[in-house]
Structure 1
């Protein structure tokens, strides 16, 4: 792999790698470090890239492993991350609606954080990153049926938790 190919094929992946790492380590700076280490490793292994069938899946696997290594070595404290703008309307919402939405997103993020690791990883890759089932199976090195099962269970658990919280007191 030469510099040109690296810039064309690997560097465009850095934002996906960052989001994936951030979902695991829950720390902005640590996720940036992980991505940088991943890119360095890819560059150092540039001679072996010709043997790799799916470069993106390989980069995702490196990112996952480095993120987990960071968590194990640093005992990183998890922080709040799930900041998503749900509403694209031009009108401004009332402070009550904004607070309610923020509270809902915090609850959902907590529920996602409480999922088993495999379910959380599969949900991140499918629902947030938009990977296909096949790509997720390759990234995580698991069977495609296991991907579907983990995603189904993760979604069901989130849905049941939301229904339980919203139905409380009825």
Structure 2
């Protein structure tokens, strides 16, 4: 399945654990296979697969009262594109750790929409299909999520508070 890696990254961000993400993807692909006759009717196969993955991951989170782990931060780190000195690298790493910490504190809906748009690059329409909500709600929640992270980061930087 061509979108397997994208589904894995999505599950990993939701669950924060590599093994659980692999399990979820395996379950999702089995579910897709069992419903292969529906594929011809779908307008967006990728959104359907993302929705299945999301639902399975959320079920796992709810059933275990799951907690995010450090695997999430390692999965989302952005590699440096040019050579930096150790001080710049440390500052960038610290900033990314703080941003990921702020994102992880967002409500689940904000966090998921932010992830799908800014990390996975899905369109507003695709996000609406994955989450089964209106596109206007996607835009509003994405704006609120970005605003909340930006304000908390500014407060942290200027005042040293969260």
Runs of 4+ aligned residues of structure 1 deviating over 6 Å after TM superposition are: none
SS at match of 2:159: coil
Question: Could you list the runs of 5+ residues in structure 2 that have no partner in the other structure?
Answer: none
- Return the offset for 1:101: 1.4
Separation in 2 of the partners of 1:151 and 1:86?
Answer: 25
Q: Deviations over 1:82-138 (max 9, x none)?
A: 34235311x3x3322222211111111110011111111110110011111111111
- Return the offset for 1:160: 0.6
TM-score (norm 2): 0.91
TM-score (norm 1): 0.87
Which of residues 17, 22, 28 in structure 1 aligns to 2:7?
17
- Return the offset for 1:75: 2.8
Across the two proteins, how many residue pairs are aligned to each other? 157
1:120 aligns with 2:111: yes
1:106 aligns with 2:97: yes
Separation in 1 of the partners of 2:90 and 2:4?
Answer: 32
SS at match of 2:2: helix
SS at match of 2:141: helix
Which of residues 33, 38, 42 in structure 2 aligns to 1:48?
38
Separation in 2 of the partners of 1:14 and 1:86?
Answer: 22
Question: Could you list the runs of 5+ residues in structure 1 that have no partner in the other structure?
Answer: 1-10
1:88 aligns with 2:78: no
CA RMSD of aligned residues (A): 1.4
SS at match of 1:167: helix
Separation in 2 of the partners of 1:137 and 1:77?
Answer: 26
